[in-house]
Homo-oligomer: A and B are copies of this chain.
Amino acid sequence: MSQFLRPALSALDPYVPGEQPQDKRYIKLNTNENPYPPAPGVMDAITREAVSQLKLYSDPTIAPLKQAIADCYAIKPENVFVTNGSDEALGFAFLAYADGSHPVTIPDISYGFYKVFAQLFQVPPKVIPLREDFSLPVEKFCSAGSMVVFANPNAPTAIALPLSEVERIVAFNPEHVVLVDEAYVDFGGESALSLIDRYPNLLVVRTFSKSRSLAGARIGYAMGNPALIDDLERVRNSFHPYNINRLSMLAGVEAMKDTAYFEDCCQRIMKTRQETAKALIALGFTLTESSTNFLFAAPPGISGKEYYEQLKERGVLVRYFGTERLSPYVRITIGTDEEMAVLLSKTREILKEANP
């Protein structure tokens, strides 16, 4: 840290991403990536000719990708905002709607970045604890009196909120933007997208990183009323109008067009999730009901930390969060059936050693 850094930022507690070892030795079940490759059309679209055209700027209106997203969800391009990963969409929404005198209401346990954005932009957070069973206390979000941000399904708890409950939160906060982060919705959640025409305060944020197998292409998007999208475009055009690079634009269009491939991948992941959950429960694990591409799981007889460390030693990476309420748990991404078989076999070894 230098002497020049603004005092407000010196206490900043940046987000810590999951480990990304570059040596490829691990079975990576720690960052909720999709185990299946992008849709075949993605590989076909990124030709040598397309790469040589990198000399030219990308389309700052992001028109082809907005159109592909709009077509997929039967909405209009004016309902769509596109960003360099969904973190950027979240960041721009904070910039648009929150500041020192416009606070934000968030759950205590959720995607860690909400608190970080609040710190970065000096937004006072109103933090509402999840219930004992990690469910969202909906009534407390209904009288937020500020912008509301929450994930549905939630991470790392994996729990989904029914659409009727999401709608209650949106309907009871007509004076404030309600941002629903649906990064994981394609694995079994109910989307709030059908509500955007009725609620001018609803912003639905999505990502290509999970269900579209494009974590490395960095594409996020938000959907909402055209006036909200216009707000976000003002911020984007005041930050960097060329935020989407040419190759990600091509990749995103193809990934969005191939609905059959997308649905097949999601189905496979949900099937693997069900089987893995069943096996873990049989081993004595405590699990929440997952509507995501990961399991939130507490091993029997050992701490979350010990389980994480023992797995890592055996070549399997999962995500462990050290905070108090989460310490019995780890978050396990759903990989291929083969990867989950290794996880289960290593888990049996670990439990046997721990409870001989």
Contacts and interface: CB of A to CB of B under 8 A. Distances in A.
A88 to B, nearest CB: 5
A243 interface: yes
- Copies, count: 2
A213 B99 contact: no
Contact of A246 (B88, B217, B241): B217
Contact of A242 (B12, B14, B87): B87
B96 A15 contact: no
**Would you call the interface of chain A mostly helix, strand, loop, or mixed?**
loop
A175 to B, nearest CB: 8
B84 A55 contact: no
Contact of A38 (B37, B54, B234): B54
Nearest to A248: B245
A117 interface: yes
A336 to B, nearest CB: 11
A324 to B, nearest CB: 23
27 contacts: A2-B200, A2-B231, A4-B97, A4-B231, A6-B98, A6-B102, A12-B238, A14-B237, A14-B241, A15-B237, A15-B238, A22-B63, A33-B55, A34-B55, A37-B52, A37-B53, A46-B51, A51-B251, A54-B251, A84-B245, A85-B242, A87-B239, A116-B238, A216-B247, A217-B246, A218-B242, A245-B247
Interface of A: 1-6, 8-9, 12, 14-17, 20, 22, 28, 31, 33-38, 42-43, 46, 48, 51-61, 63, 84-85, 87-88, 91, 95-99, 102, 116-117, 119-120, 147, 176-177, 200-201, 209, 213-218, 225, 227-228, 230-231, 234-235, 237-248, 251
